[in-house]
Structures are given as structure tokens and as C-alpha cells.
Structure 1
Amino acid sequence: MINNEGYKLVMVYVELIDMVGHRYGPESSEVEEALRAVDSALEELWEIMAENSILNTTNVVVVSDHGMTKASKDVVTWLDVEPCLEGSKIVKTTGSVGYINILPVKGHTDQVEKALKNCPGVSENIEVVRKENMDERYYYKNHRLIHDLIVMPKLGYALKSPETNYSLPEQESESIGHHGFDNTEDLMPDMRGILFAAGPSFTSGHQSTPVSQVDVYPLLCHALQLQCHPNNGSLDRVADFFALRTLTSSASSFMPRVLMVFLVGLSLVMWVGGGVQV
């Protein structure tokens, strides 16, 4: 058992729901079947923990890395930005569907931006933003791997990955489910994820208001009684998740043995297991 091996953190990524959601769409019967399979696995985990007397000393967090929405060609309009770009002025592009990053050749950012904003049939349905001007709510502007220009589709549209020698290869497919769209300010609720937490550190039966994904990291740090590295999240915004004793007690006076984190890639997971729901 993990508690006998000295582990304090166990993380598991459950790919099944994400994989099925992409192929068949988030509202499909196939996704419902995948949900039942994951739910059964979690129920079995609960039984095993109970049998080994670690249920009361283990925190379990179930969280999704993203949401998913139906974005097949009969639902949204797919836009191709490749005709808007001149290859000699582009170093590379990355991304597709909900956004595309573009790195222009040094000195050509203005020209590339202008071309995108004046591209017939495309420009009226996209937003082109310079990295330094990205809205703070995206937390997407200061990292060195973010390119100079970000292209985002308006509601009802999606972006096809440019098929050029300067584009990072993307796996284009006939997927029905997609993610990567803007989930802020209620623009697309399907992009929201789920967050459940159960165990001795957490308030039983509490239902939270919506939580920013950046706050999951400080939540996990506090559950493990670890000092977070610098981040965009805030423990204050998730303080209601925790039982009062874990907010006021020192690490030495109260410390659950193990934290298990299950990452599932879809927002439609419905798990009845108690704890905290978002």
C-alpha cells in the first residue's frame, strides 16, 4: 500500500473521458459510459481505502484539466488563417481550435498583425492580440514560450491549424469534442472544469462558488502543508474548502498521510462522493 511506502502525494491522469469526448462529443452515450467506468473505479478506490483503514487519513482531489464542448463542422465555423500569413515573415505558429500563437520574424510583427486584421472572411471573426496586451484574466502574457501574437476566434468559430512548414504539427482530425476556448466571464460554460475534494482536511458537504484553475495549486499545497512556489493562485479564494482545524493547525499537529489527485480531462464528470463541489 502507498502509505507503507512513504508516499505523500499520488497523482493519476485518467485519459478515458477526454479521449472518448474528443471522438464522440461530450454529450454522447459513449461519454456517459466512460463516466460510469471512472465512477466505478473511484468507488472501488474508496472501498480499498476503507478496507485498509486509510480513508480517514487520506485526502482525495478530483479535478479536470479543461472542459470540452461540441465543435464539429456542423456546429461551429472553422476558419483558416493560413491565407492571411506570408511564410517569409513567420518563424512558427502553434495551437489550433481555440487559439493560435504566431511568432513573426523579428521586425515584421506589425506587418503580420495588420495582415491578420485585414484578412477577408477571417478578420471579422477573430481577435488578434499582442502578447504584452493580453488581458490579465487569461494569465497568458509573461512566459517566454508565448509568441508575440495570439489569435482567438469569436464565439461560434474555431481555428484550423496552419498546414505549413513553419507550423508545429497538430493532429487534425474529425473530432467532435474540442477545448481551448475562452472560459472566462461566462463566454463558454462548457469550458469550465470540475473540482471535488474529500478527506480529513476538507469541509464535508460544502459546495463552493466557481474557482479559478490557478487556485488549485495553492489548494494542493495547503493540503500537503507545503510552501507554494510563486504562482497566480490564491489560498484565500479556496479557504472555504478546508476544515477550520487545517487552516489554524500547524503541520506537526495535523497532517493527513497521503494526498491523491485524479486529473480527468472533461468538465462533465459527475461523481457522487461527498466533499467539495464546484
Structure 2
Amino acid sequence: MPHPRSPSLLSPANYDNDAASLRSPSEQDSDSDDDEFLRHPRSTLELSQHDRSVLEDEDELEKLLTRTGPALGLRRIFSPNGSSVRIGKRERRRARREARLSRRERVSEEGELMYEMEEGLGDDDTSSLMSGSSMDLDGKEDYLYEPPSKPSWRRIVFVSAIIAILFLILFLGAYKASSTFRAVHPHVQPLLSNGTSLFAPTTILISLDGFRADFLDRGLTPALNSLIANGVSPQYMTPSFPSVTFPNHFTLVTGLYPESHGVVGNTFWDPDLDEAFFYTHPAASMQPKWWNAEPLWETAEKQGIKAGIHMWPGSEAHIGIVEPSYVDKYNGSEALPRKINRVLELLDLPGPEDESDLMPLRPQFIAAYVPDVDKDGHTYGPNSTEIRETISRADDLVAGIVAGLESRNLTNLVNIVVVSDHGMASTSTERLVQLDDEIDLRLVERIDGWPSRGLRPKQPENMEILEEQVARLGKKYADAVEVYTRETMPERYHFSNNDRIAPLWVIPRTGWAIVERPEFDVKKALETGEVYHPKGIHGYDHEHPLMRAIFIARGPAFPHEPNSRLEAFQNIEVYNILCDSLGIDPLPNNGTLRLPLNPVGLHSDEHAPPQVRPSDPPEPSSATITVGPSESTTAATEASSTTVTPSATSPAGNDDESTSWWGAITGKLEEFKEWAGELFSAEKDNHPQL
């Protein structure tokens, strides 16, 4: 019988041939220590001290080998179990150490028990006992694994929110950073060199507010006439209704009718916002809520083209998510030479160095607004001596910009487009309608627009009464006004499909004005000789000759024969033309013209229609107006033009008189009388003392 302390009895190899191969080296080392313990048993105190020292040594080693730093904190934050990771190398080593200690303690306790029991046990019983002990020891490993605790829902929500916020910030930053690079340029021209710098497609847009088309025929505009001779233009451009500044300037840069872009007048009421728009109050008008379309400068910036905007109406309103690269605030007193310098300053900024340079400082679209002609036209009248000087100064501005292009060798590299928004008509105290003598204004909540008057009733039941009063007004002053509801507004006005348009309108005929007390008392003014101001007004029927504007273009985007003549068009077409000249995609709009333009001939052609020189003040009309659409406005428009030739055929029964010498003399006398009357009226407006 073997010795009770013989290690062969406790060795698993004696009863399991595969035991040695299934044990890891560390476990085999542990068994060697156990065998050594059986040969030389130690006291419990010694074992505890030994094990403690072993644990401390291994802990020190763990600290040296464990990585620390910010990554450790991130691992702890995103770990589902917080900062404790139970299933890892460190824990497995700790589990093995604990198992080794447990086995040693059990061996020390069972060793003596086995010594006592082996005397009464056979080999088979001993093997069974040791087999059971071995199974218990091996089974100890099952209790060392602790399943991970479920992560807290608060932690999951917090971490998810942090991730979502970070992703949103990154997305918005990337979107904003890339907004200027999402460009599709169907008409991009190659970079051109002026000898010192490269220029991408560049267009300068100049608006001469209130510059009537026939102002070009007064011998005061050599620079503008030179542009016409070397460029392309129609005889005139038709504004949009109403022919006032803010609606038409926004139409020029959106291609939309005022009813579509929302700026339906210089002053109007919005029933949804329950607020009024006043063009003279920038704090109210320069807010994006009024401007319901994307202007060209925003479209350009979104497509990677910088814009420099000098005082253009609406440019300070922060209309979209992308601002122009350069915006100059409105300053009505700025001298015209300063405007020339500002345009050329923008043009002199650093441009693209090569084809791959996507971030030049120089804007490719430059728009400048010039208010002087409009301002002096209101103050002195369109036929005054003062306005002649103002027209000449406006022409000098154009000449300065053209000279700046020539000195920089940019005449054939940069496009220049000159436009105006409307014309101007003379007024008179004799051509006024006292609205409050004809309409019960106590029934009116608000009056929109100027010089047209849009009436909003206080109560819905007041609408029928006001319609009757307006109809009577239209019949009484048939030569002076047109009257419409929003539903009966002429289709050519494109002025009905917007709630900002009042439900009832009194529209003065060209040269007339509508006034209310106490601003102006017509009867009193006629008795005292008081002169009505302003002496010049616009805002009338946009197709009237006195409301006609200008469009002149020259540059590489307009490779037409010099002095080319276009058919007259409305200003909704300008937006597409400007977009094509810059090589950007226009947004949907009401215009249809695209580059290249199709001239119908030259201005100098023998068969070209004669220039229209409208009578100002316009001749009276005998048309009758009712509340509803009327064709009489077209007749009035034609009658006011000096190019309209009277018919040579007289009514039946008067042929002899019309062909007689007396009839011819009478006709000449009537023509002279009309001419003298117009001349006297114009001089009276210019010199009230007369």
C-alpha cells in the first residue's frame, strides 16, 4: 500500500491519462507548487503571507502593464458595464489566482483528512474520493464568471443624445462649408486673362432708378448711347405693375411678378402677419418675412459665385441662409463718384489664380443702385432743368465705370448691364382727385399703395358699399382713374394672386394723383395757387410710354453685332439673362428669354420703328371706366404717344372739310395750340411763380 503522503495518489495523471495534456502550463505550475506543499506542509500564517505577497507583486505588475490616458476614460464611458469590465485578461488572471489559493487551502485541510481516511479506504474508494475532489476543484471555475449587468437606460439615452448632437453639428458644419461648392455651371466660360489677372465670368449690373427710356434722346447721355452703339438693347423695357421701385427691383433679381415674390408695393399690408411694409422704414422693411423669393445674389453664392451688392433694395434683409459676400448699406446722400470707386474696388479684389482656385475674393456678380434720377424726378419733375443735370451726372457714372474697365483691359472680359426700374410722369394741381370727397373713408380700415390706392374695408359688410362708391368714382373721373376689385384686375397687370393685394383699387391714370385730406386739399390749392408735390410720379399702368425703362448690355456674354436691336420685353426677363451671363442655374421664374439673345436688327436700320417720344403731361383720354377689366387703358396709352398719327379719313359727310385748305389750316392751328399748351404747362411746373 502506498505511503499516505505519496504525491502519486493525488496526481491526476495517475487516474487520468489525458489530464496532463489538458492542463495549461500555469495550472501545471500550480500543481507543482501543490506537490511541494504536500511534501513540506506550511502553517496557515505562512501560506497567507506568501499568497498576499504574490498578489501584491502581481497587482504591481498589472499597474505597470495597464494602459492609461484619455482613451481609458472613453472606454469606461462607452462600456455597457460602466468602468468595470469583468471579462478580460486582468480578471481572468485574478480568477486563476483566487482559484489557486482556494485549492491550496482545500489541499491543506483535506491533506490531513485524507491521511486519516486513507487508512480505512481502498484504492478504489480513494480514487473515487479524489475524483470527486478534482471535480469540485475544476467546478470552481464555473462560479468565477459574473454575467455583465444590464446597462442603465439613462446612460443609453445620454450617450445616444450626445452622439446625435455631435452628428448634427458635423452635418450642419459640412453642409455650410460645402454650400458654395455645390455648383452646376451649364454656361461656364473659361477663365480669361486681362494680362495681369484671371477673370471668371463677371457681370456688373447698374440700376438707374427712375430713368425713363426717352431720357436717352435728350442729348445728355453720351456714355449710355455709346453702350447702345457697341452693345445690344431694345428701344425700351417694360416694368412690372405697379411701376414703383421696390417691387421692380426685386423682380429684376428674381424674374418673378410682384404678386409672386410678395413685394407688391412700396407700402402694403399683410393680413397674415398683421403688419405693414414701409419702404422708408428699414427696421420694418429689411426683414426676410417680406421677401418671399430667392434673389440672384443668394442663388449665385449657393453655386460658388461671390456677389457684391451696393445698396440694392432688399439686399440688407437677410433673405436666405446664404448672404452676399459684400453688402453696402443704403446711403441716399452718397456722391456718384464714390459709387464708381466702390464698383471698381470690388473688381480689383484678388481673383482666381488658376482653374483650381475656388475661393477668390473678387465677386463675379456686382450690383449697384443709383437713386439720383428718381429722387430729382420727384422733386423737380421729369421735364425740369434740374433733372437734365441729374441725367447727365448719371451718365457720368456709367462713363466712369466703363473707363475703369477699359483701363484694366476688361472691356471684352466683363459684362456690363444697365437697367432702370420705371419711368416718370409730370403732375399738376389740376390733375388731382380728392378721394375722401367720393369715398366714405370711415368704412376703410387701411389704404395701401401709392399713387394707386388699395382699399381694405373695416368690416366685410362694408365691401359692397365701397364697391358702389368706387364705381361711381370711376364714372365721374373716367379720364383720371381706373377702378377694379382684385378679381377684376386686368390679367396683364399680374396683380391679384396674393393676399397682400387689397380687395379694391383706385388706380390713377398717368399724370394724375389721388390725395386725401389733410395731406392735400385740392379745392383750397386751386384757390390759392398751391403747387402739388411731388412734381413727378410713377406707379401707373406699366405699359404706358412714360413708364418705360431701359436695358443695355455689352460684354463677352453678348457677342452680338454692335448696335443690335432687340424686341421690347418686360423686366421679368432680366433675371435669366443675368444668370446665363454668370453661368449659373436660374430658379423657376416668369421669364422665358435665355442667352444668346436674338436681335431683330440694328437700331440704325432704315426699317427700324421710330423712337417713341411720349407727351408729358399726357393728353387727356375720353375713355369710360367701370369696376372691372377694360380695354380703354390701351386706347389711353396709344393716345398719349406723339408717334400715333391721326387717321386721314374723317367721319362720313366731312370729307370736303378735311380736304379743304381751310381744314388744313385749322388742323395746324390746333396742333400749334396743343404744343403751346404743353410747353406752358411744363414751364409752369418748373417755375411755380409763373
User: TM-score w.r.t. structure 1 length?
Assistant: 0.73
Per-residue CA distance 1:33-70 (angstroms, 9 max, x = gap): 11221212211211211222332221111111110111
Per-residue CA distance 1:213-250 (angstroms, 9 max, x = gap): 22222222222233333332221598326xxxxxxxxx
Distance 1:22 1:156, change over 3 A: closer
Task: Choose the corresponding residue for 2:581, options 211, 217, 223.
Answer: 223
Task: Choose the corresponding residue for 1:18, options 362, 374, 383.
Answer: 374
Mapping 1:3-152, distance limit 5 Å: 3=347, 4=350, 5-74=361-430, 77-97=431-451, 99-107=452-460, 108-119=462-473, 122=476, 124=478, 125-152=480-507
Structure with more of its chain in strand, by fraction: 1
CA distance in 2 between counterparts of 1:47 and 1:156 reads 38
Distance 1:200 1:28, change over 3 A: same
CA distance in 2 between counterparts of 1:57 and 1:179 reads 36
Decide whether the 8 Å contact of 1:72 with 1:175 is kept in 2.
no
Distance 1:161 1:227, change over 3 A: farther
Per-residue CA distance 1:162-203 (angstroms, 9 max, x = gap): 659xxxxxxx9622111111132xxx3111111111111112
CA distance in 2 between counterparts of 1:234 and 1:100 reads 31
Aligned residues: 229
The one-letter amino acid of 1:135's match is P
Distance 1:214 1:69, change over 3 A: same
The one-letter amino acid of 1:220's match is L
**1:73, distance to aligned residue in structure 2 (A):** 2.2
Distance 1:126 1:43, change over 3 A: closer
The one-letter amino acid of 1:214's match is I
Distance 1:145 1:35, change over 3 A: same
Mapping 1:145-224, distance limit 5 Å: 145-154=500-509, 157-161=512-516, 174-184=533-543, 188-202=544-558, 203=560, 204-224=562-582
List alignment gaps of at least 5 residues for structure 2: 1-344, 351-360, 520-530, 600-613, 615-690
More relative contact order, 1 or 2 (CA 8 Å, 6+ apart): 1
**1:139, distance to aligned residue in structure 2 (A):** 1.8
CA distance in 2 between counterparts of 1:136 and 1:83 reads 30
The one-letter amino acid of 1:49's match is L
List alignment gaps of at least 5 residues for structure 1: 165-171, 242-266, 268-278
User: Which residue of the partner structure matches residue 2 of structure 1?
Assistant: 346
The one-letter amino acid of 1:159's match is I
CA distance in 2 between counterparts of 1:81 and 1:231 reads 37
Structure with more of its chain in helix, by fraction: 2
CA distance in 1 between counterparts of 2:496 and 2:488 reads 8
Per-residue CA distance 1:12-34 (angstroms, 9 max, x = gap): 11111111111121122211211
Distance 1:51 1:121, change over 3 A: same
Identity %, equivalent residues: 27
CA distance in 2 between counterparts of 1:143 and 1:228 reads 23
Decide whether the 8 Å contact of 1:67 with 1:193 is kept in 2.
yes
User: Which residue of the partner structure matches residue 82 of structure 2?
Assistant: none
Mapping 1:261-276, distance limit 5 Å: none
Secondary structure in 2 aligned to 1:150? strand
Distance 1:70 1:119, change over 3 A: closer
